[in-house]
Structure 1
Amino acid sequence: MNLYPVLQTADVAASARFYRVHFGFAPTFEADWYVSLRHPLAPHAEIALLDSEHPSIPDGYRERARGTLVNIEVDDVDALATRLDAAGVPVVQALRSEAFGQRHVIVRDPGGVLVDVITEIPPSAEYVAAFAPNE
């Protein structure tokens, strides 16, 4: 089984460029109305972008993504947050550490989707029991 999000956007090219430039995704299929992207490193995360006005979307559902948060885990969120800021990527939540075990920054992609860029950190004692044991 393969599972990946397909995000509706008003500008497929700009959204695709965002994920390629800032996160290293590469296209596996490209059309002016749809782009499928895959990350070259295992486990090969995938994401697709679809023109929000494409006729394959049922009437009444042709709108940009809203209420969607895409998580991307990276080794060094501090370094990436600095690069994203320098590139002018809109930051909607500044870099911070959370007691539940994440250091993260939230940015907005060109289609309005929130992208939560995360590096795992040790959780506080109150959250340790909430994690499943590593197998």
Structure 2
Amino acid sequence: MLRTSYPVLCSDDVTASARFYREHFGFEPTFESDWYVSLRHPDAGSELAILDPGHESVPDGYGTPARGVLVNLELDDVDAAAERLETAGVHVVQPLRSEPFGQRHVIVRDPGGVLVDVITEIEPSPEFLAAFGREA
């Protein structure tokens, strides 16, 4: 039986990456060392971890920072979050915009190179409405 699931993101600067999620999104550490930090959000219960790709627990040949990973963080007010992130100097990869598939979002980059898609759900356009399941 599956008990939990969460991403572990490799970063060359574990401290900076963990600080990014703490300062900008309210995650709190549940375990912290110089090579691994486990984080949990106190409200959402969401978890993620940051790992030094050079640590001995990483199999040979796989010790590269995360690339091609997009972490979605759904918030109540993406407009306020986008303004706060820009003011804080966070690297914005894609400016705030609304998508016809039902998202208003901004995409930023964490210190380890992971893309973070900050999202608020909006009403999808009619052409996408049919793609959603009945429970969506």
TM-score category, normalised to shorter length: over 0.9
- State the match for 1:15 in structure 2: 17
Q: Deviations over 1:104-132 (max 9, x none)?
A: 00000000000000000000000001111
Q: SS of the counterpart of 2:42?
A: coil
TM-score, normalised on structure 1? Answer: 0.97
- Normalized against structure 2, the TM-score is what? 0.97
Corresponding residue SS for 1:36: strand
1:125 aligns with 2:122: no
Question: 1:90: Cα distance to partner?
Answer: 0.2
**Corresponding residue for 1:35?**
37
> What count of residue pairs does the alignment treat as equivalent?
134
State the identity as a percent: 70
4+ residue runs over 3 A deviation: none
Instruction: Provide the C-alpha distance between the structure 2 equivalents of 1:6 and 1:100, rounded to a whole number of angstroms.
Output: 28
> In angstroms, what is the RMSD of aligned CA positions?
0.8
Structure 1: state its 5+ residue gaps. Answer: none
In the alignment, the residues of structure 1 paired with residue 86 and residue 104 of structure 2 have an alpha-carbon distance, to the nearest angstrom, of 16
Structure 2 CA distance for aligned equivalents of residues 76 and 4 of structure 1: 24
| Aligned equivalents of 2:134, 2:33: Cα separation in 1 | 43
Structure 2 regions of 5+ residues with no counterpart? Answer: none
What whole-Å deviation, never above 9, does each CA across 1:18-62 have from its counterpart, x for those lacking one? 0000000000000100000000013x0000000011111011000
Deviation readout 1:53-96 (Å, 9 max, x if unpaired): 11110110000000000000000000000000000000000000
